[in-house]
Amino acid sequence: MKIESITVSKLQDLINDNAFWRQSILPITKQRALSFVHNPRTQDDNVVLFCGYSKNRLIGYLCILPDYIYIDGNQQRIGLLSSWWVDPDHRKSGVGAFLLVKALKAYQQKIVGIKYNKKSGAVILRSNKFVELENNSILVADVWLRTKSLGPKKMHEYRSFRVATKPFIYMINMYNKAKSVRFAKSIRDRIVRFEYCNRVDNETDEFIKKKQDNSLFRRAASELNWILQYPWVLHSPDITMIKKNYFFSSNAKRFFNLVIKVKDNKNIVGFVMIKIRDEVLDVPYVYYEPPYIDGIMHIIIRHAIQLDIGVIRIYDMNIHDSMVKCHFPFIKTEIYKNGIALSNSLNIVDDKVYALQGGDGDCVFT
């Protein structure tokens, strides 16, 4: 097996290499490649892609996003585990673990994984090179405004069950939508003043920085504007025509971000980034003055209703609790954890509290 290590500078050359993009299996999309080469936290010699080949055939790859984390106020350069794929015919060959070893070596044993699936998590933790931060995991609250999952999930695999429950589900969704619209009208006068922005300006940047003293990742204007300018997922109304030669998120029927600045008179009191992907509204970054938490929550709700959203995904439990207390009508709410694993060499104490946002890692991109 041969391992090819691709640096940022080489990736920049590959963007204009037509032969590279004609491969039957792509280890990265062009939009991700553009994002990687413009990452404000990267350097030209950083390795961002490890590709494993057997007889000139791609059998696995591991993508790494260079980043910083802040431990006890000290900046640490790390690599973020991003897309990680192994050909199904080579799952037992150990190529996935070998790619991880190469990544650890390239980043001086300082690797972080966030929101990984069970298979990836098993490889990560079996390596004994990582510690999973149970106490500091990102809590996620999914608030369902509509439902496609009444009853056991496996039942929905059967066409007869779907057909039988379709009228019932339709009535529930219409009833809850009507209640949501009435709720939005009732809070219209309580919406705090806000404005849309196409980028994070200096005023907002200063506000955000004051809210990040204990943040593991500290996203400033340069990082947030990079995220907005170079998305990984493209808005693609007809995804049926897209060639399936890349196995991770790259297209959605609806995908865009909203940047919202919340103000009280002349002072900024909150910042909200809203990500829309199909029928899911995600709040990857939110910062606010505590007295304005209900106003922030009302802004999120109004956008969910106006954009005909089915699920609101919130990572700030105070906003979730505010939503529940105000009796906002929803079908159900589910709270779970996104796993976070950090290399042992980073020496993070497991019970030490670091603030985490839902968009930290590469989660904001997908």
Read off the amino acid at residue 76. Q
Domain assignment of residue 346, yes or no: no
Residue 154 binned pLDDT confidence (cut-offs 50, 70, 90)? very low
Range of the domain at 258: 140-338
Mean pLDDT score across all residues of the chain: 88
Q: List, as one string, the DSSP characters of 212-249.
A: -TTBSS---HHHHHHHHHS-SSEE-S-GGGS-----S-
Any domain includes 273: yes
- Do both 265 and 170 map to the same domain? yes
User: The domain spanning residue 277 has which CATH number?
Assistant: 3.40.630
Tell me the pLDDT tens digit for each residue of 178-226: 878 787 777 777 778 899 999 999 999 999 999 998 899 999 999 999 9
Domain boundary among 137, 169, 204: 137
Shared domain for 184 and 324, answered yes or no, is yes
285 & 314 share domain: yes
Q: How far is CA 148 from the centre of its chain?
A: 22
**Distance between CA atoms of 271 and 268, rounded to whole angstroms?**
8
Helix (H, G, I), strand (E, B) or coil at 245: coil
Tell me: do 129 and 144 sit in the same domain: no
Domain count, the chain: 2
Q: What is the pLDDT of residues 170-183, one digit of tens each?
A: 777 777 778 787 87
How far apart are the C-alpha atoms of 241 and 237, rounded to whole Å?
A: 10
Q: SS3 of 152, please?
A: coil
Among candidate residues 38, 118, 51, 107, the one with its CA nearest the CA of residue 79 = 107
Q: Which segment of 35-39, 118-122, 332-336 scores lowest on mean pLDDT?
A: 118-122
Cβ-contact 172, 325 below 8 angstroms: no
CA distance 43 to 104: 17
Q: What distance separates the 2 farthest-apart alpha carbons in the chain?
A: 66
Find the helix packing angle between 293-306 and 159-186, rounded to 10°.
130
User: First CA to last CA across the chain, in angstroms?
Assistant: 31
76 located within any domain: yes
Q: Which helix (H) or strand (E) holds 59?
A: strand 57-71
Q: Are 46 and 158 contained in the same domain? A: no
Q: What is the pTM of this model?
A: 0.90
Q: What pLDDT, on a 0 to 100 scale, did the predictor assign at position 139?
A: 82
Both 168 and 78 in one domain: the answer is: no
**Are 238 and 215 found together in one domain?**
yes
Q: 89 is written with which tokens?
A: 């015919």
Calpha distance 99→117 (Å, rounded)? 17
Q: Are residues 314 and 210 in the same domain?
A: yes
41 and 132, same domain (yes or no): yes
Stretch 133-156: mean pLDDT: 68
Query: In this structure, are 93 and 167 located in the same domain?
Result: no
pLDDT of residue 148: 61
Domain termination residue (choose one: 137, 163, 182): 137
Q: Which amino acid is at 281?
A: L
- Structural domain ending residue among the three candidates 79, 103, 137: 137
16 occurs within a structural domain: yes
- Whether residue 330 sits in one domain with residue 304: yes
Is 301 part of a structural domain of the chain?
yes
Assigned domain for 299 exists = yes
DSSP state of 331: S
Residue range 38-87, pLDDT digits in tens: 999 999 999 999 999 998 899 999 999 999 999 888 899 999 999 999 99
pLDDT band for 298, please (50, 70, 90 cuts).
very high
Do the domain assignments include residue 290? yes
Distance (Å, whole) CA 273 – CA 300: 10
**Residues 65, 204 within the same domain:** no
d(CA 312, CA 142): 6
- Which CATH number fits the domain that encloses residue 6? 3.40.630.30
